[in-house]
Structure 1
Amino acid sequence: MKLIISLTILILSGVQISWSQPAIDSNRIIKVLSFNILHGRTMKGDFDLDVIAKVIIDANPDLVALQEVDFKTNRAKKYDLVTELGWRTKMVPLFGRAMDYDGGEYGEGVLSRYTILQSRNVPLPYYPGSEPRAALEIITILPSGDTIAFVGTHLDHQEDEKDRLIQARQINRAFAAAKYPTLLVGDLNAIPGSSPIEILEGMWSPSFGQEEPKATYPSDDPVKKIDYVFYYPLSRWRVLATEVICDTVASDHCAYLVTIELLMDEGVGANKSGQ
């Protein structure tokens, strides 16, 4: 198995580092992973879920957004993929349906080390002839007691970006009134600087800052970035590290791992449960 790992350590490019910055609080540091799992097929076509699970286990994330997740479809051998991966990784699984497909369902998956307090599945708009898409949100509590939202999504894959444009706008609308600091994670099928990404950047901040973003696709020779972690609001998050993990057997996508810190709320303290 060919394993390619590129690692970038960063503290939000464009933000000057000073001694007045708050110290890092380990209880507010989380690792989030975006991973398009190719409906569990693997590049060998053998549906070896242990290979996919190993990528996740080795990355050791706290929250995972999975794309191309099948739920009991014929092509995926009737596997409930997110539950199978949850069992293998010892994480809490959740599936969000985007559409019916091949005797089952197809959509998003989330894995969490933390308790899931609430969830909602937001349908995204699409034009006739295109595939339905969704954004799956969970509300969870960090070890620090802070409450955050985590959203996994997968935008349309077609060359024409018209679906991605309306889907990006709907994501901004759906989460504009977010009660908690929020992470948006997934395969957006759009490169940095494209119109869908610029729409999202009207609300969200990207994890790669001002440096050259690392390519995430295809896994055997990455040439473009289409897998992302965004955060909102800017004042509540600090990116500590990013990593692109390319397992050429597990999927056609590299997994994208971001280590990020939730900063204290300078207003009333923090968004903690029960407050």
Structure 2
Amino acid sequence: MHGESSAEESNSSHRVLSYNIKRGYGNDGTTDLPRTADVISKLHPDFVGLQEVDERCNRSGNVDQAQWLGEHLDMHAAFAPFMDYDGGRYGMAILSRYPIKKTEAVELARGREPRVALAAHVTLPDGNKLTLVNVHFDYIRDDTVRFEQATKVREFIQSLPNPAILLGDFNDTPESRTVKLFQDGFVEADKPADDPYTFSAEKPDREIDFLFASPESQWTVKTVDVIDEPLASDHRPVIAVLQLKSN
């Protein structure tokens, strides 16, 4: 599903990956962060939004997982904690090929656990600015808090002076009001119709991980793939090639 190349080849394409890594804890019952790194490396992303990341937690061998993955993948890393956990902190991370100029943890409504959205502001090689926003919304069945969290994230992205990419584990499905909130004014990285499911990795039967780009007028989605990776996590990775149009 590669699009036609336009006359404006100053347009910049970016490989963007969303992956709930479950702290490197695989479906074989072992924590294996090098295996997680290998899955990511093979996809050659420019930007990665990671959910369920440990920072020096006992259960994961006291490793600063965001820093470790950044070093092993030769990428810049940012981490935002949700909460203190098991001797360390638990949260989410963004990896970037380009230097991260600034990070923000946008506090969201509290559900079963505390939640933030992690925003990483980067300057692209052509001088354009881009913000990556990584989310992991509340997982309980009642969507009240999840929708409130999504509303706050939408407001944050719409307040930005530059283009943005939103990615993460939405813990909700395409027809939900949480996901529909981003289908207006954003470009959605639509997954292949014959393979849209992102969870569970072993027996995929629902689509809960998403990528969007804003504003709609500045982006083109080139390709989207859900990766068949049944072992490294309970989620499947989603990779999209997004093209930012020239100003």
Question: TM-score with structure 2 length normalisation?
Answer: 0.93
- Matches of 1:108 and 1:58 in 2, distance apart? 21
> Pick from 90, 98, 118: which aligns with 1:114?
98
AA matched with 1:184 = L
> Pick from 216, 222, 247: which aligns with 2:198?
216
- Matches of 2:39 and 2:8 in 1, distance apart? 27
AA matched with 1:98 = F
> Is 1:92 matched with 2:76?
yes
> Is 1:132 matched with 2:114?
yes
Which residue number corresponds to residue 207 of structure 2?
A: 225
> Displacement of 1:94 after TM fit?
1.0
Cα distance per residue 1:146-193 (max 9 Å; x no partner): 211111111111222122111111111222211110000101111101
| Change beyond 3 A, Cα 1:154–1:24 | farther
AA matched with 1:216 = T
Cα distance per residue 1:237-258 (max 9 Å; x no partner): 0000001112111101000000
> Whose RCO is larger (CA < 8 A, sep 6+)?
1
- Matches of 2:189 and 2:7 in 1, distance apart? 20
> Displacement of 1:79 after TM fit?
1.2
> Pick from 148, 152, 159: which aligns with 2:130?
148
- Matches of 1:199 and 1:92 in 2, distance apart? 30
AA matched with 1:126 = R
Which residue number corresponds to residue 78 of structure 1?
A: 62
- Matches of 1:209 and 1:35 in 2, distance apart? 14
> Pick from 55, 66, 91: which aligns with 2:39?
55
AA matched with 1:97 = P
- Matches of 1:81 and 1:45 in 2, distance apart? 18
SS state at 1:192 partner: coil
The 5-angstrom pairing of residues 252-267 of structure 1 reads 252-265=234-247
How many residues of Structure 1 are paired with residues of Structure 2 in the alignment?
A: 247
The percentage of counterpart residues that share the same residue type is 34
Structure 1 residue runs without a partner (length 5+): 1-8, 12-16, 266-275
- Matches of 1:75 and 1:242 in 2, distance apart? 33
Which residue number corresponds to residue 160 of structure 2?
A: 178
Q: Which structure is larger by alpha-carbon Rg, 1 or 2?
A: 1
